[in-house]
Amino acid sequence: MTANPTTIIAQGTFDILHPGHLHYFSEAASLGDELHVIIARRENVTHKEKPVLPDRQRRDMVAALEMVDEAHLGHTEDIFVPIERIDPDCIVLGHDQHHDEAAIADALAGRGIDCEVRRASAREPRYDGELLSTGHIVDRILELRG
């Protein structure tokens, strides 16, 4: 008898893909059999600068990554709608995401969604000057070309 497949969700804005995102996706994918990534819609991003790239472009870039089984755009009004549809075994939050694990777990339980909530580890720069943040990449672009 084989174990049931495990479905993992990662989520975020993913405006400009960088090695930190790849680390997050790889770590999340290693925890299960299927990795689904939910990409926040521009209109729902309120905790930081709005994404530069359009929603569908960010989704398509994430979907093209080998470790991602499916990429989904978030719901415009309720962030839990795609989570209910996907029915994950685990949601992996990025190491620096503003979400509170306990609050997410409580909200999931309140909706009858039985899944674990974990936080991914950080990835340290591997060489001098490596950028692992979209904000830092944008700052560097502005510095060099602005």
Q: Which residues are annotated as a binding site for ATP?
A: 13-14, 18-21, 96
Could you tell me the CA-to-CA distances from 61 to 51, 72, 118 in Å, in that order? 14, 11, 24
Contact (CB, 8 A) for 12 and 59: no
DSSP string, 121-143: PP---SSTT----HHHHHHHHHH
Distance CA 66, CA 64 (A): 6
Q: Which residues are annotated as a binding site?
A: 13-14, 18-21, 96
Contact (CB, 8 A) for 35 and 29: yes
